[in-house]
Structure 1
Amino acid sequence: MPFSGKYELASQENFEPFMKAIGLPDDLIQKGKDIKSISEIEETGDNFKVTVMTGSKVLINTFTIGQEAELETITGEKVKAVVQREGSNKLKVSLKGIESVTELVDENTIVNTMTLGSIVYKRTSKRM
């Protein structure tokens, strides 16, 4: 199944504790918790371009599976990381101690799970 498409955030779990743990200020957490973000994924072979629009903030990451890339985190920090593919429907990356797994659970649903220590933040997005 290809990841390519546009997805809208449908639900999220543990947003506030996770954002606090990564050091986001309270005012940004309060502002961000009710915004429905839109993710657009372009997949061409092993090359990906992921654009996440949250309100007026736009985060764009491009990477090739298995190769080091500079990725921007939720906090705006740029870090070098390698995205790995597991099977045909799962992408994994470790960013500054955060384990991120993005899984295409069916043709219309993407689940992104970010784990930092004991805090698990889960985002479910539906294809638009």
Structure 2
Amino acid sequence: MDFTGQYELQSQENVELFMKALGVPDDMIEKIKDLKSVTKIVQNGKDFIVAIQTGNQVLVNNFTLGHETHVETPAGEKVKAVMNLEGENKLVVNTKIITSVAEFNGDQLTNTITYGDIVYKRISKKIKDPDAEEDHL
């Protein structure tokens, strides 16, 4: 399965609790919790670039399936992580403190992020990439 695409956030659960647990300041949580968020995934074989844009802020992480890398959390902390493919449609990222499972089902992306006993869930819908048309002109 090719995971490449842009996914716009439709709903989220436990965002405030999760961000507070990560140490994101309250004023920052208030600013970002209701902002439009788009996740862009570019896959090239086993290599991935995942960019999450929330408002004017962009968080970009690069992965190679099965290899350890450093990723940046929403709080700006760099942590070691490994991404693996489970089945045909799940990308699982494990860090020392967080597990993130991104499950792709048709045009829906469900990302379940677990930190201790806090479960943060994001549901996004695949959107048309405006840049894709320009690339083919």
Q: Does 1:117 align with 2:116?
A: yes
Mapped to 2, the partners of 1:29 and 1:16 lie a distance apart of 6
CA radius of gyration, larger in: 2
**Counterpart in 2 of 1:19?**
19
Higher helix share: 2
Write the letter of the residue equivalent to 1:42: V
Percentage of matched positions with identical amino acids:
54
**Counterpart in 1 of 2:45?**
45
Tell me, yes or no, if the aligned pair for 2:48 and 2:64 is still in contact at 8 Å: yes
Alignment of 1:100-111 (within 5 A): 100-104=100-104, 106-111=105-110
Deviation at 1:24, TM superposition (A): 0.9
Consecutive aligned runs of 4 or more in structure 1 exceeding 4 Å deviation: none
SS where residue 11 of structure 2 aligns? strand
Deviation at 1:77, TM superposition (A): 1.3
Deviation at 1:14, TM superposition (A): 0.7
Gaps of 5+ in 2: 128-137
Q: Deviations over 1:69-113 (max 9, x none)?
A: 121111111122111110111111123411111110x22000111
TM-score, normalised to structure 2, is: 0.88
Q: Deviations over 1:16-75 (max 9, x none)?
A: 111111111110111111011111101111111111111111111111100111211111
Write the letter of the residue equivalent to 2:119: V
**Counterpart in 1 of 2:91?**
91
